[in-house]
Structure formats: C-alpha cells, structure tokens
Structure 1
Amino acid sequence: METPNSCLWSKLPIDIVTYLLERLSLLDFHRAKLVCSNWYVCSKQTARPKYGSPLLMLSPEGDGCCIYSPDEDRFYETKIDFSGIRILASSGKWFLVADSRLTLFIIDVFGAKRIDLPPLESIKGGRFRLERVGDNSFKERLDNNSAPFFFFQTSGDLRGFLWVDDKKELEYVVVWYIRNSVSSRLGFCKNGQDHYREISTKEFEISDMVLNGYMLYVLTDRDYIRVLDLSGKEVFKELSPSDKIQMHELGRKSGETTDDIKISASNNIVVTTSGEVFLVRSVRYKSSRVTFRLYKRDLNPYPNGRFRLSSTKLVEVDSLGNEALSMDLGITVPADHTLGIQPNSIYFTRHDRMCRKPKSYRVSPPPNICVFNLETKTLKHFSALSNLKLKDALWFFPS
C-alpha cells in the first residue's frame, strides 16, 4: 500500500490525520485511506463523512467515466481505468461492469477492489450453452431433438443487475440478461459460485426487471409480474402465482399540454421499501420534457363482489411520501435531507435502459438526467451537464 512518496504523510500524528479525514468529501475520504497503512488504520477509527447528494456515474462519448456530485457541482475523476468498460448496474458503491471481451466483474468505485465473476459460457442448468466467438461475441447452441441452432450474441445485447450487501461479509447477486431479435436468456450467480444458473424464459418475454436483495421481480410482455427467490443454493423458486395487471395507454391528466411531441414512452416496475410493486409510466417529449405517473394494483377493484378477476385494475399513486425513487435501481430509498435525498422525488437518467437495443437496430437517445418532484410536477436539470456528450449515466446512492 505504501509508496516512497507516502512516507512523509505516514509520519503525521494521528490527531492531524483524523482532523483531515473528517473534513473530506466521501470520494476524497476513500482515496485518502489508500495513502498508506497508517492512514488506512486511522480511517477505520474516523466517522465516515455523510455525503450530500446522490452521485452520477457519467460515461462520455469515447472511453472512460467520471463521477459528478450535484451537491458540490463538482466532477471527480475515477482512479479506475474505465477504457473499454461498459457499466451495467450499480448497488451502493459497487458497480457491475463488462470489459471489451464481455468479461464481467464487480468493482468498488472508491476503493478499486475488484471481484471477478464467472465467464458467461459457464452457465448451467438449461437447454442451451454459450460458446465464445472472437473477443466480444458468443455463439448460442440449442441442443434438442432436431438439428442444433446457432445465434450470435454481442455486447449490445447484454443487460445486467446487481445487489451487494457489504455490511458484514460481502454478499452479492448478479443477474444478466441477453436478448436479441431471436431469443432471450437469463442467468444468475451469487458470491462463492463459479458458474451461472439459467432462469428459464420459455413461457414469457421480459419487459422489465428489478433485483432487490435475493428477490428478482420480472414484468413480462403479457403484463404479468413474477417474483423469483434466488436465495437457494443452486435453484430459484417462484414465490407466488403470476398476478396479472392490466396495462393500457394511460390518458393525459387534465391541464397537461398537448403541443409537445411525444418521442417515446415506457412502462417500468419499481419496488418500494415495504416490498410493494409500483408501475411507472414515463413519457419523453421532443422538448426533452419528461413526465411520470405512478400506479399500483387496486386490491379491491370491484367492491360489490360481482367480479373476482385478480388485479385487473390500477389506481394512481399521487405521492411517495418520505421516499425517493431511483429509476436506474428500480427501488425506492428513504429520503434524508442531511444526505441530500429529496422526498417524493424520482431520480432519472433514461427510461429505455432495459430494452435499449444495439446500434445496429437504432441509435439510443442520450440520457435525460433530472430529478422529478411528484408534488410540484417540476423537473430539476443540472446545467453543468448540459454541454457534455454522454453515452450513458447512472444515479447511485453510495451510502
């Protein structure tokens, strides 16, 4: 850990080091503890600084990434070489990334600790297998009673989801999803495993997913929500029967303008801190305006008892209360003014993260980074980002 240039710093008295550490931002705090072994030990005895706002991981056009702090209006360079790396998902300070060879690993964006994951071709338990072709593509082989079929999967087809708990011993769950014009595949692994297990998608196509702990929530193309428990040693199980929800083209509220041209719309699911599942309808307009509406299942859609159809009706949710919603994570988190997490707000970068197609199909629009207040129906943008040409962006909550 120590270098010749750190010898002088290592000789500073502990009270001075503590004084310095207590006044650093979260990013600088994590970097400072890597100066030398003495500083690292001192950091363990120093209260970790509270961070202001949630952070943004930005991927500008070209290679590399940087971190933006809205609270400080400041950009931080990462100590990690993100050249050729594609960020798939985040959980706290941990990121799931894929390198140029489609090798997956998890990395601590502050401490640069890296956890290598099994290769994609290690997947077991299904009716197919992947064979690497070149540096960044795979051949999919289906073995059945007829002749085998081959499809090619590339980096643009890959999506990922991550959950990490590092409060005690490090626990994690990684889910990846490959979808192209012909097929879709879903696999997962946990800490200590050297391979992935397949989750069969034979009976449904996936519209959206949320990974919250060991629970995987899947919104299917037929408007079903399936809840899968991934905590088993080698298998997953479905917690409850499929509950159908009726999704439809939702009309405008009274008072909304109609002169703005709608570019795209998306239905996504989010899971609240209490475990309730919401449907989020987001609409993007030509003017870069974004609107959001939240819905949940009506638990008593027909009070007179004449019909017993399960969850065929949605009711609108007007408020998140003292919670904030991260569209990138698909979950809500407790609001905290001391940490800069605004209540009743939606942290948003893009609504096509799950279904975004590779450039061979179409060019994805740039991220539209904002915070939407559900009470005032207003958007907050960040002027420091307006002139940046970004390929992608992710909100993350490091604490």
Structure 2
Amino acid sequence: MTSPGDVDWSEMCPDAMQLIIESLSCSDFHRARTVCSKWYSVSKSCVAGLWNRYPWLILFRESSVSKPPTKLFTKFSDTNSCKLFDLREGKIYRKRCLGDKLSESRCLASYGNWILMMNPSLDFYVLNVFTCERIDLPSLSLPGEVRFPRKDDARFLEQSWSCLDREMAVLWIDEKTKHFVVSLICDDKYLFSYKKGDDSWWRLEGTECLAMAHKDQKLCVYTSDHLIKILDYSGDIPVEIIEENPYLNHPFYYDPKPWEYIWKRRLAITTSGDVLIILSLKGVLEYQEKILFYIFKMNLQGKEWERVDSLGNEILVFGDGITLAVASGKEEIRGGVIYFAPDDVWPQANFPSSPGVFDLATTKIRWSPPRLIYRPPSIRFRWIVPRI
C-alpha cells in the first residue's frame, strides 16, 4: 500500500488535475496552482474559459476601531487580515497574512493577484493576496531634498505618512517567474523604481513626475511640464525612449471650465498600447455637484490631445491605470466604465465615501455595492483584477 507521503502529485493525470482545479473556489484555485509547475501549467490551460477577468474589491481594516458596524465587516478584528470581495459572485474571502499588520500598512498599488504594501517604517513589500506569498524590497534611500525624517526621530511615524501623503505607485509582476517592477512617485516629484535583481532603488534625475503607467516593460511618465516620457525597463537599468516616443514634445493642457475642479490626474495604457490621460473632477452645475471623469488620447496624425467619450469594450481601474477588455456576451460586466475608490474622487460630504463605477456614456455612477455606501471610516478599499 502507498502511503500519502509517497504520492507524487506532479505525476497526476492532467485530466484529473483539471477536474480538481475546476471544482475549486477562486481562493483555493490560486493556492492549488502553486503546488508545482505541472499544476500551474494545467491551471493555465484548463480554466481559461471559466472565469473572465474583472475587478474585485480588497478591504483593509484600520486598527483603531474595534467594532465594525455592518454585517460585511463582522469577524474582521484580526489586524493581519484583509477581505476580498467578488462583487459578481457576491462572495467574500478572508485572508490572513503573517508579518506586518495590514491594518497599519498602506496599499500603494496592485497588479493581478499582487499588491504593493508600505508599513509606517517605510518598508516596502509585494504580497500575493491569495497565497500570502511575500517579497520584501530593500529600504528606499531618499535624497536629502525630500527631507524624510530618520527612523530614530520621535516624530518619524507621523512625518513619514505625511511625506508620502501624495504618493502614487505602479506594480508589474510576472505570475510565473516572479520578475517584477515597482515604481513610486514621492511628493509629486521624485520617481523611484526597483526591479527584481537590483541592489538598490533607481531614481530618475532631473524630471519632476506627476503620474505613470506600466505595460510591456515600459513605463510611461507624465511630467510636471505636461509631457509624456517613456522608459524602457527591459535592460539592466531604465533607458529613456526618445526616437520611438510619439508623445515627445507634444504637451497636454486642459483648462478647466469655471464650474470644473480637477482633483487627480492619472495615466493608463490601453490593451492596444495607447496612452490615456484621465482627469478626476468635480463639476458644479445649477448648484449641484457631480463627480466626473474626462479621458484624453493623442491623435497621432494631428499630434493633438483630444477628449474621447468611450473606452469601447474596455474597462479602466483609475488608481492603477489598468485597462482590460471585456469578453463579449457578459452583460453584467460592461465596457466603457471606470472603477474608482473613495480617494480617487473629490472628498465632499454629499458624495458617498465608497467605491463606485462611472459610466462614460451616461456620466452616471453605480455605487458598488449598495451596502458599502455608508461604510465605516475604519475601512479602506482598493480595486484589484485577479489573474488566473
């Protein structure tokens, strides 16, 4: 008789693997595909048609509040845990991760199943929200002009969060090889990046940066002089692309109308490779305030930035500059919409402090889901787009 310890699970029949994997929940599926390379390969081939990619919500609880009020947030007292909310299926997955308290850390970016986290000591790490696999990044050495406090400063915690209050970051990672790139803009000026295998963080000199997006080993950066720079990350160090940059020397300008107030700017890259500039605004018409999003794309023939009113069959996740095509026939997941988190829009009392979906065609918002509209202030949200 063969004991359980003698079984080589990698030699299981692929058809049997497929039956097992297809019967698992989404959370268990992501753990199963890490068993070995053969299980990973079968998972890629056998479930590609089962789930279409679409945004989920990840919820982090602040450590300062002990009694979350609604049913969704009950049993959420562990400061090392987060919750994954599949809105389409109406399922909630609770994930507990060892190490830093997630309630005291900040989620800066997401890509697929991975999130970029920063704790109050300015330590950065990349975390898989399904398997809880963690990749630690080296300490970030910052230039003197940023004036970050020393870690032995009694006011370090308060000042460090303040210095990064306007930060934005992007993350890219290969699910199989774990090759990754992290880029961070600090204080609306300084661009730092780190990729797997580097000894330290790299800094872009001589350029102030406001927004960025990453795709296919290239980082597009929106600079303070309203230009788009493109950096190639395929080599040992990032190299600026000049001759093949169609946006070079074509600045983007938008003068808001008297009733428009710009809140944030973001970049995104479509599935076809086009760079988009997205503005999050507040509009005031007839004494009524309204959340708006404007999208601009360059007309490569006329070399002019033009406002566009459609994303076609693609959806956009505002915070991470991610776009993805929607599979045809899935009416519950429509293209032409922007997924946003509470921090992405103008902070006004008459707007619900919850995530939402903005329809470009109608300019209407679907607050998602209704039971999160009056969420406790102790909960932080972020959209992620799980990959299979």
Does the CA-based 8 Å contact 1:100-1:136 persist in structure 2? no
How far the C-alpha of 1:110 sits from its partner, in A, is 0.9
How far the C-alpha of 1:51 sits from its partner, in A, is 3.3
Matches within 5 A, 1:209-288: 209-239=212-242, 240=245, 241-250=248-257, 265-284=263-282
1:387 counterpart (352, 371, 374)? 374
Residue 110 of structure 1 aligns with an amino acid whose one-letter code is F
Deviates further, 101-110 or 329-338: 329-338
Aligned partner of 1:347 in structure 2 is 339
1:197 correspondence with 2:192: no
Percentage of identical aligned residues: 27
2:355 counterpart (369, 383, 386)? 369
How far the C-alpha of 1:43 sits from its partner, in A, is 7.4
Any stretches of 5+ residues in structure 2 without a counterpart?
A: 64-78
| Closer, same or farther: CA 136–331 of 1 in aligned 2, 3 Å | farther
1:134 counterpart (144, 149, 152)? 152
Over residues 289-319 of structure 1, what are the superposed CA-to-partner deviations in whole Å (9 max), with x where a residue is unaligned? 5222222224455xxxxxxxxx4x4322122
Aligned partner of 1:25 in structure 2 is 25
| Closer, same or farther: CA 136–221 of 1 in aligned 2, 3 Å | farther
Does the CA-based 8 Å contact 1:270-1:332 persist in structure 2? yes
Residue 373 of structure 1 aligns with an amino acid whose one-letter code is D
> TM-score if structure 1 supplies the norm length?
0.71
| Closer, same or farther: CA 248–91 of 1 in aligned 2, 3 Å | same
Aligned partner of 1:95 in structure 2 is 115
Q: What is the CA–CA distance in structure 2 between the aligned matches of 1:291 and 1:128, rounded to whole Å?
A: 33
1:71 counterpart (88, 103, 108)? 88
Over residues 112-160 of structure 1, what are the superposed CA-to-partner deviations in whole Å (9 max), with x where a residue is unaligned? 1111111112x69x99997842389879xxxxxxxxxxxx754651543
Q: What is the CA–CA distance in structure 2 between the aligned matches of 1:17 and 1:278, rounded to whole Å?
A: 41
Does the CA-based 8 Å contact 1:21-1:43 persist in structure 2? no
CA root-mean-square deviation: 4.1
How far the C-alpha of 1:109 sits from its partner, in A, is 1.0
How far the C-alpha of 1:162 sits from its partner, in A, is 0.7
Matches within 5 A, 1:91-130: 91-121=111-141
Q: What is the CA–CA distance in structure 1 between the aligned matches of 2:95 and 2:154, rounded to whole Å?
A: 25
| Closer, same or farther: CA 213–99 of 1 in aligned 2, 3 Å | farther
> TM-score if structure 2 supplies the norm length?
0.73
Over residues 352-398 of structure 1, what are the superposed CA-to-partner deviations in whole Å (9 max), with x where a residue is unaligned? 49x99xxxxxx9x9854122222343322211312322553221111
Residue 86 of structure 1 aligns with an amino acid whose one-letter code is R
| Closer, same or farther: CA 136–21 of 1 in aligned 2, 3 Å | farther
Aligned residue pairs total: 342
How far the C-alpha of 1:79 sits from its partner, in A, is 2.5
Larger Rg: 1
Deviates further, 344-353 or 73-82: 344-353
1:323 counterpart (314, 318, 331)? 314
Q: What is the CA–CA distance in structure 1 between the aligned matches of 2:310 and 2:293, rounded to whole Å?
A: 12
Does the CA-based 8 Å contact 2:114-2:128 persist in structure 1? yes
| Closer, same or farther: CA 352–19 of 1 in aligned 2, 3 Å | closer
How far the C-alpha of 1:266 sits from its partner, in A, is 3.1
Aligned partner of 1:86 in structure 2 is 106
Residue 56 of structure 1 aligns with an amino acid whose one-letter code is L
Which structure's residues are more often helix, by fraction?
2
2:175 counterpart (157, 161, 166)? 166
Q: What is the CA–CA distance in structure 1 between the aligned matches of 2:220 and 2:130, rounded to whole Å?
A: 29
